[in-house]
Amino acid sequence: MSNFSQNHKPTEIRVKQDKKILEVDFADGSSFRLPAELLRVESPSAEVQGHSPSQKKVVSGRRHVGIMGVEPVGNYAIAIKFDDLHDSGIYTWDGLYAFGENQEAIWQAYLDDLNKKGLSRDP
């Protein structure tokens, strides 16, 4: 997928720092509330994802992670700066939309991975 041909375009992005939520409204009328913890532990960065699915890391201990800010990346994505200082993930519009649509399944897979590895959401 090219960075420049996104199927979904956001109309507004709001950081709710007190609730540790990123709210994203899209042009098609969809609106998602994405928890900072989910976005952090599923960061599209190489640090988390590795360079192949088998290299993906399970990030634990991020229950209380927050969002310090977001920066636009071209006209196709944002970079999110988390309060644990992770800031290398680039979240494309389509990626954010996919997080919103598949949030429950992604979250459950994350919880299952933590459980399998004996890890915790708590720091």
Position 1 scores a pLDDT of 43
Mean local confidence (pLDDT), 110-119:
97
What residue ranges define each of the domains in the chain, with the CATH number in brackets?
Answer: 10-116 (3.30.2020.30)
- pLDDT for 23-51, tens place per residue? 999 999 999 999 999 999 999 999 999 99
Position 2 scores a pLDDT of 45
Could you give phi then psi for residue 68, rounded to 5 degrees?
Answer: -85, -30
Supply the mean pLDDT for the chain.
94
Q: Which pTM was predicted? A: 0.93
Position 10 scores a pLDDT of 97
pLDDT band at 4 (very low <50, low <70, confident <90, very high): low
Helices marked H in 12-102: 36-41, 46-49, 93-101
Beta carbons within 10 angstroms of residue 111's beta carbon: 11
Residues 6+ apart with CB under 8 A from 11: 25, 26, 27
Q: Which amino acid is at 105?
A: A
